[in-house]
Structure 1
Amino acid sequence: ELHVDRDHNMNNMATAVWNIIELRRLIFSFGERRDIAVCARVSRIWTEDALDVVWRDLSSPLPLLGILGDDALQGRISGPIDVMDWARFDQYASRVRKLSLPPSRDYHTYLLRKPLSLLVALRPFPPILPNMSEMCVEGCSAIGFVPQMPRLRTLFLEQFTPQGEQPALMIKEFFSMLSQRCPGLEELTMVWQTSYMNPEIGIPVLAPLQDCASLAVLDIRAVCTLRFNKDADAADLAAILSNLRVCRLTFIPLFGPAAARLPDLGALLPLAAACRRLEELSLALAATVPDGVLRVAPTRFSPALRTLSVGHGAGAHEWDASRVARFLAGVVPPHCDVVVPPRPHWAGHWDDQEDIAEGERQLQEAFELIPVYAGRQSSSR
């Protein structure tokens, strides 16, 4: 029986140094010289099954780079890598199922991101991590590389801050690379903040996600405004999201929804027509109903929809609870829970906190009227 502390890089590093002849050269300046050496000696008796367990979930890229020697560990890959080194690398890299890259403010991580991208450049095919199904990246200002990861199922990007003059273009290019290099991607979570000089992105930025055929769960929380030009953008967004089961889109500026010019609830209509697989939908929308839609029988979401989170408490004086409830009663299926979206983690910066809280309370009361209006609509038919 093998007990492994998954959160301690020392245990993961031990497996990397296990198959390296010059053990001393790998163990440098990490303050764990004695413990790592002990683990390395113990690792000589580890079975293949035990190695599979240790390498399955790496909390650092250090073990992978350590296989290729000092130059890789110190960010100096200057020439072709020996065939035997690649063979040894593949022997261990094929065991990896999850890789986490810690925040780039960490000194060692800063050194290691560049070599990882260089590895991709040195050998784009076959995939460096052929069996990896989950990847987590924290605290990065750019995604400099997207390796070929044919079996990647889950990608989580935390504290992603695209920089430069055109952050929206960089995000769009990243989505394009995902569709090409991670064809099996099923779940994408991104938390990003754009530059204060570029606080908006448009719907076309999300368009490449439509080519991610396997994508079923999309969760984007962005400290910026999603530029929304009424009907055309609503139709485009519906086409992008049409294959999803779970969709959570929160595009709200740092200082709150009042500054966001959020689209109204009419944006739900094309989504209801196109997104027939949705089980959960969360959108940052203004709790207003456009004129004219109440006179037309709207398209109802499919019975698969179980949770709908829409609206925000900002601007409560601008909307009417009965209109909101009446509209949603014709859009959501029976037994669908309609709730106010949870506040994002940057809500502490919002202005008018008390007014927003009161607006959220009123909006939730409006949602509680939906069954009443749904019953009236059923009886009128």
Structure 2
Amino acid sequence: MNFTSSLNFTVTERFLRYVTIDTQSDPSSVSFPSTEKQKDLARLLVDELLDIGVADAHMDEYGYVYATIPSNTNKQVPVICFCSHMDTAPDCSGKNVKPIVHKNYQGQDIILPDDASQIIKQAEHPDLKNQIGNDVITASGTTLLGADNKAGVAEIMDACYQLMNRPEIKHGDIRILFTPDEEVGHGVEHVDITKLGAYAGYTMDGESAGNMENETFSADGARLTINGVSSHPGFAKGKMESAIKIAGEIIAALPDSLSPEHTEGMQGFVHPVAIEGHVETVGIDFIIRDFDAKKLSDHADVICKTADEVLKKYPASTYNLAVSEQYRNMKNVLDEHPEIVEYAMEAINRTGIAAKLCSIRGGTDGSRLSFMGLPCPNIFAGEHAFHSKQEWVSVQDMQKAVETILHLCMIWEEKS
């Protein structure tokens, strides 16, 4: 069925509206969601869903948005869910975002007007070569854009609009889920899987058009606590063993071959992300990543062996490493349900672009949803240079993502 030429896309207008709402999450917060302002976007999405006729759209106490596009077929079709997160990353300001549409991009450097030092160059953003003639959206230079993941939110919302207004697009029940706090690692902690009642899910949170991601890192967190020996600095000779200096030596001694800046592809890493303390006690927080979960313990052992070696010089000092599981590679679950990925690949191909199966050097809400009983790969949303002032997305890639959602709904109905 060729319907895409007649679609009245709303994705761009929605995206430009959503990015102006500050939804930055906060990793130091103990509340859920971590910032109340995320609910500002949630409430808007509910209102817009109700306006297009999605009668059960609502926000729950945790800030999740749930909605259902009812089936319009007599077939018994498995329920599928589309999911995106509403928050933006703490790494870069998401306040007072001023989106700019650069129409008919021709390969030039894009100088962002509010900070001329922020220049988006094709040499540094290779996917721009695929955007010649397209309309590229950026921020103004002082904030991130929020394409991660408001591009996905806008694409799902446009798909909902199309499904509610195009009855010839046959589909089963479609569940919609918008989540807070994905960027701080808590995005699905309070999702009601029973309430969703879906067989398969798809996050719209990927990068280049055509990308279909079925594999993520497996992830642990670790905290290394160093117990040194404090002493008055005026009388410290032969007594003090500074935990601060010990921590610095341990970090410096970690092998470069296991650092994020020296790894790529399927290689894992050990990454110190935060440090706090004083002369007597210091805590170092690490993230440990690998596509093979069995290697996570090996990477943790590297931290211990490094600490053992450094502490040979500090006989009165000790350490402890506490490791906690964060998420696991969703491929382990998705391989048990191959049709979930296969149908998505077919949907992408039907839009006229070539589907490409990829791995994510990171995680998504889908990683944890997969292990909560909702197998959930990740489909491209078109976002690039996320978490930075040079973040960008193209109008045409977002439209292709909308088409992919619609084709995917139809494929599940066709094959049922």
- The alignment's TM-score, normalised by the length of structure 1, stands at 0.24
In proportion to residue count, which structure has more strand? 2
In proportion to residue count, which structure has more helix? 1
Higher RCO structure, 1 or 2 (CA under 8 Å, sep 6+) = 2
Larger radius of gyration: 1
- The alignment's TM-score, normalised by the length of structure 2, stands at 0.23
